[in-house]
């Protein structure tokens, strides 16, 4: 069996092209995000414009708001209509509408549990960093550890291989850990082969990887310097794989993706060159240099040492100030730079920024629509390539929890992302519209005969992310209250004060 170290070494050649593109895009935007391994922060290139950096941060923030809103479910679970009918029949619910409402309620609870897991397990700061890398390099990986939670891995530290359809075949992550930490993976001590480190005496290479098997499962294990870690071998389905490689734009037939910045590197390169020329020219023009004609009646030292407002004897024609006379040339460069800057601001969605105190569904939809209109389907691509793999992994973990509602075996919920994910909130409006139209066509009394009130209230509460069990009375409660009301009415009809006393006692019984 080939080691993960071997797989990683073989995959470096296919990765190098995308690394170079990522480094170039990072230089034009935020050089510290993705730099060469040997480049220290003190030697990073200095940019003469900040449009690229501001644009990446702005767009990453808007993508984070639209993909993972803070106060709204960012995905939706649904069941195939035929499966839904089968599920209702298995429940034995006579009223199909009530059964479907119960299904929607359980799915909404699972959605909310997944959203809480995303917030509490530390996914949000990791995704903030990940989105910046995806915009600049086009690639990134989320590595999930049971103890440390999710962590981001940049393109320098992992390799992946995909089939022509874009499905993962192989993924390997390389990390450097201290020798003392690596020793914890081996109960009997570090093997001799693992101590032969090519990374120096202090750190050892820890590899974590997975390869697709013929049965559709992934074989996942870890190695230290090519030596397998005891007990790390596991067989996992794709949804439970703790290595989640992501890409911004998929390339047909390629294992890695392209970035957003590289599509506009022409404008960024031109703006960088123009900004540098304008800045250097402005610094040169700001320099004050007084020239004195040779043989003049006034000496240069006299001009240099004279205080402001002093009166000296001399010929004004003998003294002059050095001027560049490049105002016209600089105005052309400045105008061109402003045109490029405005174009990039539109591309990075910096033209319209709204500072909102709270995130609403309407604001999320407006942001999504803005991204779709300006970037041509980028949001839909990210919902499929970034949002859905993360949701698959989170759901695969929380469905094993005892507090999560269980669905019958054979029922696999369909994960909906994108605009469809936040469409559950529209159901209340659709129910209201249906009620208004039915009353106009049939009349209030006749239309009410065709509706199930409890099912409607349950679906409205679900669409508003409310706990229907806590705010809607059960059938048993309604029946009990009805019986009590009938008893009170019967006792009240008894003639005399004795009947009224008995009715009062009946009314007081639920309070005791």
Predicted confidence (pLDDT) per residue in 467-480, tens digit:
666 677 777 777 77
pLDDT higher than threshold 60 for residue 253:
yes
Using CA atoms, how far apart are residues 239 and 221, in angstroms rounded to an integer?
16
Q: Which two tokens stand for residue 366?
A: 């407006």
Using CA atoms, how far apart are residues 48 and 275, in angstroms rounded to an integer?
6
C-beta of residue 72 within 8 angstroms of C-beta of residue 361: yes
pLDDT higher than threshold 90 for residue 159:
yes
CA geometry: angle 113, 116, 119, nearest 5 deg: 155
Using CA atoms, how far apart are residues 333 and 369, in angstroms rounded to an integer?
35
pLDDT band at 369 (very low <50, low <70, confident <90, very high): low
Q: Please state, in angstroms and as integers, the Cα–Cα distance from residue 344 to each residue in 63, 74, 440, following that order.
A: 17, 29, 52
Specify the 3-state DSSP secondary structure of 321. strand
Helix ranges (H only) for 121-240 are 123-136, 179-183, 192-195
CB atoms within 10 A of CB 201: 8
| DSSP code string of 273-291 | HHHHHHHHHHHHHT---EE
Task: Tell me what pLDDT residue 223 has.
Answer: 92
DSSP 8-state assignment for residue 495: S
pLDDT higher than threshold 50 for residue 332:
yes
Query: What pLDDT digit, counting tens, does each position of 62-73 carry?
Result: 888 888 887 777
Q: Which residue has the tokens 């029922």?
A: 411
Task: Tell me what pLDDT residue 383 has.
Answer: 81
Query: What pLDDT digit, counting tens, does each position of 162-196 carry?
Result: 998 889 999 999 998 888 888 888 888 777 776 66
Beta bridge partners of residue 453, listed in sequence order? none
Of all residues in the chain, the percent with pLDDT exceeding 70 is 77
Task: Tell me what pLDDT residue 387 has.
Answer: 86
Query: What pLDDT digit, counting tens, does each position of 268-278 carry?
Result: 999 999 999 99
Instruction: Please state the length of the chain.
Output: 512
The larger pLDDT score, comparing residue 277 to residue 327, is at 277
Of all residues in the chain, the percent with pLDDT exceeding 90 is 29
Using CA atoms, how far apart are residues 87 and 77, in angstroms rounded to an integer?
15
Return the biggest CA–CA distance within the chain: 133
Residue 145 parent element (H or E):
strand 139-145
Residue 227 parent element (H or E):
strand 227-228
Task: Tell me what pLDDT residue 456 has.
Answer: 76
pLDDT higher than threshold 80 for residue 56:
yes
Query: What pLDDT digit, counting tens, does each position of 205-218 carry?
Result: 999 999 999 998 99
- Mean pLDDT calculated for residue range 256-281: 92
| Nearest residue to 67 (alpha-carbon basis) of 423, 397, 421 | 421
pLDDT higher than threshold 90 for residue 432:
no
pLDDT higher than threshold 70 for residue 426:
no
Query: What pLDDT digit, counting tens, does each position of 91-114 carry?
Result: 554 555 566 667 777 787 888 888
CB atoms within 10 A of CB 65: 17
- pTM of this prediction? 0.75
Q: Please state, in angstroms and as integers, the Cα–Cα distance from residue 394 to each residue in 149, 244, 401, following that order.
A: 12, 11, 12
The angle, 0 to 180 degrees and rounded to 10, between the axes of the packed helices 265-285 and 327-347 is: 150
Task: Tell me what pLDDT residue 439 has.
Answer: 82
Average pLDDT, the chain: 81
CB atoms within 10 A of CB 363: 16
Query: What pLDDT digit, counting tens, does each position of 18-37 carry?
Result: 999 999 999 999 999 998 87
The answer to which of 205-219, 398-412, 444-458, 488-502 has the lowest mean pLDDT is 488-502
Using CA atoms, how far apart are residues 155 and 12, in angstroms rounded to an integer?
11
């Amino acid at each position: 069996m080939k080691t993960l170290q071997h797989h990683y070494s073989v995959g470096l050649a296919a990765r190098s092209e995308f690394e170079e593109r990522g480094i170039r895009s990072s230089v034009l935007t935020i050089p510290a995000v993705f730099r060469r391994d040997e480049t220290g922060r003190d030697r990073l290139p200095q940019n003469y414009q900040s449009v690229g950096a501001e644009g990446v941060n702005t767009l990453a923030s808007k993508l984070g708001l639209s993909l993972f809103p803070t106060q709204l479910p960012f995905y939706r679970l649904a069941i195939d209509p035929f499966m839904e009918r089968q599920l209702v029949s298995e429940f034995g619910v006579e009223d199909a509408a009530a059964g479907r409402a119960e299904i929607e309620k359980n799915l909404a609870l699972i959605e909310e549990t997944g959203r809480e897991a995303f917030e509490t397990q530390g996914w949000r700061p990791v995704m903030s960093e990940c989105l910046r890398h995806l915009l600049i390099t086009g690639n990134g990986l989320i590595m999930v550890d049971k103890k440390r939670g999710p962590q981001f891995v940049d393109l320098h530290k992992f390799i992946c291989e995909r089939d022509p359809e874009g499905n993962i075949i192989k993924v390997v992550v390389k990390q450097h850990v201290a020798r003392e930490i690596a020793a914890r993976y081996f109960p009997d001590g570090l093997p001799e082969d693992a101590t032969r480190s090519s990374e120096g005496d202090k750190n050892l290479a820890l590899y974590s990887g997975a390869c697709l098997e013929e049965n559709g499962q992934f074989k996942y294990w870890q190695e230290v310097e090519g030596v397998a870690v005891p007990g790390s071998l596991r067989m996992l389905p794709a949804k439970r794989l703790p290595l989640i490689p992501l890409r911004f734009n998929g390339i047909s037939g390629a294992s890695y993706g392209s970035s957003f910045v590289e599509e506009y590197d022409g404008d960024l390169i031109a703006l960088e060159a123009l900004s540098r020329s304008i800045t250097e020219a402005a610094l040169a023009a700001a320099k004050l240099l007084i020239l004195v004609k040779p043989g003049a009646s006034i000496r240069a030292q006299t001009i240099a040492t004279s205080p402001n407002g002093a009166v000296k004897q001399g010929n004004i024609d003998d003294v002059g100030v050095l001027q560049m006379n490049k105002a016209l040339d600089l105005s052309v460069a400045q105008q061109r730079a402003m045109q490029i800057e405005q174009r990039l601001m539109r591309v990075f969605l910096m033209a319209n920024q709204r500072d909102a105190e709270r995130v609403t569904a309407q604001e999320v939809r407006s942001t999504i629509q803005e991204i779709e209109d300006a970037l041509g389907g980028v949001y839909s691509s990210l919902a499929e390539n970034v949002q859905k793999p993360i949701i698959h992994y989170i759901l695969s973990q929380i469905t094993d929890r005892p507090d999560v509602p269980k669905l019958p075996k054979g029922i696999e919920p369909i994960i909906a992302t994108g605009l469809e994910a936040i469409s559950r909130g529209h159901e209340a409006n659709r129910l209201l519209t249906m009620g208004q139209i039915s009353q106009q066509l049939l009349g209030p009394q006749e239309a009410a005969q065709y509706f199930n009130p409890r099912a409607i209230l349950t679906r409205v509460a679900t669409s508003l992310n409310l706990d229907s069990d806590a705010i809607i009375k059960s059938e048993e409660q309604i029946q009990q209250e009805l019986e009590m009301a009938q008893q009170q009415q019967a006792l009240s009809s008894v003639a005399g004060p004795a009947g009224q006393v008995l009715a009062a006692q009946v009314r007081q019984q639920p309070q005791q």
